Structure 1
Amino acid sequence: MSNPGEHEIAIVGAGMAGMSCAVGLALGDRSAVVLETSGHPGGRMDGLRTQGFEFDAGAQYFTVRDPVFRSYVDTWLSGQRVMPWRGWVVELDRGDFISRESAERYVAQPSMGALVRHLAEFCDVREHQAVARADRVDGLWRLRDGRGVELARCRELVLALPAPMALDILGDAAPQVSTRLAHFETTSCWAVMLGFDEPLPVPFDAAYVNQSPLAWVARNNSKPGRVQREAWVLHATPEWSVGHEDLSDSEVLAHLLRALETALGIESLEPVFTEARFWPHAAPIHTLGEPFLRDASLGLSLCGDWCLAPRVEAAFLSGHALSERLLQP
């Protein structure tokens, strides 16, 4: 194309859905550029590696139900991009626990986000590109940042984002699509990462927590491919997260550390590393019930886990299905 900032297809969002769509297009010889706000692909599969600790801050694992996704997972398994996680998962209630169902769980290695970054190797990903607004002018989408600087132009726009974020970007550029998006809400989640010098004296590796501000706790170093320093990830319940979204990181850390002590029945835990992260769009509350949303007359498509289900697999399948649609003549 004559303008280096003009593309056939632009995908906003380099999480699992966006990268699945981009890879599908690349396999079909369709060029697309992926614009990502942060410094690397990953989305809600992002994590943290610091001071000898490793944490999966967002998605903790994934399951496989669909045969299409299974075919990709089998390839990733053969290349050791993905491994089964055979950690002991329980239901936990103030120190008492019972085994949870033995579902087949998988994790990417050495981190969950590594799988998304692997997919990005096959695509044109532009990082630190914070798209704040999309306007359609003369048959093209013009993507701008918060200062109004144009980042790219494209004929086909894909928003691989949570529905509320997509709605903010579209504004009044696609009224019918925006009306539908307005019905989709998300839950938020406070995540806390704790590093310890010694293993915690509990026999299990992860737990769904009852009667607690915590919904989930996991020994991250029980997952394959991780360093062995004792690292725990805590996810607060949606209700607690919404009710405490304005707390400072230090206040959240104090609350949820006490909640972990209560859940485990252990007094005075002393982590040597702490960090809190707030996920404003952790999971969809409502889903579309179909793989993607598209207005062909505007050259506009949307994909993500909010279309199908709050799972890694659903995000992948949404992007994959959209790529197949866009490859049709």
Structure 2
Amino acid sequence: MTEQSTDYDSPWKEIIELYFPRFLEFFFTLAYNAIDWTRPYEFLDTELQQLEPDAEIGRRYVDKVAKVWLLDGEEAWVLVHVEVQGQYDSQFPERMYTYNYRLFDRHKQRVISLAVLADEQANWRPSSYGYELAGCRVSLEFPIAKLLDYEQAWETLEQTTNPFGIIVMAHLKTKATQRNPESRLQWKLSLVRQLFEKGYSREDIQEIFRFIDWVMVLPKELTSSFKTEVRNYEETNRMRYVTSIERLAKEEGIIETARESVIEVLETRFGEVPNAIVEAINTIEEPSVLKTLLKRAIAIPSTAEFQQLLDNLSSGQ
């Protein structure tokens, strides 16, 4: 089991959008307290594409832009960035600054820039960008939340009813068990039991379960054990949330069909497809990436260029 087998981008994007107020309440209380939550907020996914239209497939950034209303009645923008690549990125502070000023320039509204650092380097804590030249000074300071810090506050994570307590535990234990699938199975079962015991609604249990199951990938032989244990626990406690597992199984079928579609297009255009390409496609778990690959497969000039596209995807470039 390797880090490449785990998709962090998609589950974080989805869970932030599902629980945006709780996300800010958990990680960034100043921003949470400044927003008027009685008024509707709106996610603007196309904004980031317009801010950086040349973004490449495979980049491991999670960015969300939301339009909110502040308690003082003013409209504002919240730019949330989750760094999930797990390695030092010297361009990260500049990227935060660039997105901030581009949003301000486009909409002439104040921008709240926030960053969650989900990497594994304890000392990497970028929180500002600036430069000074000939008496001219430019700077941006932005709040950060470092997920590694929560390892020292595990009891707090266990006690909170905010969904991001379990979400952070799932993320940290996924990182910690990269090479120990048996340990990951036990932690995954433990987190699911905690999820059932916290008094969440059925819908919340299904959504948070989905995050846990999405990031805490298990080998096939342990996946069966996990599903059996969850079903047994549900039956013992007279809970019937197993539909969440069945729903995931349906989504796995959708992913498999998407993989087959990409391979079929390549076979139609180029005849025999190299095994390396087929194997790489069959490891991709994210439907949106497969959809993009399908579009590229229709027009790409050669299998060699398609292989390069896959290499860029796997390296996170």
Q: Which has the higher contact order (CA 8 A, sep 6+)?
A: 1
* Fold match by TM threshold 0.5: no
TM-score of the pair, normalised by structure 1: 0.26
TM-score of the pair, normalised by structure 2: 0.26
Q: Is the strand fraction higher in 1 or 2?
A: 1
Q: Is the helix fraction higher in 1 or 2?
A: 2
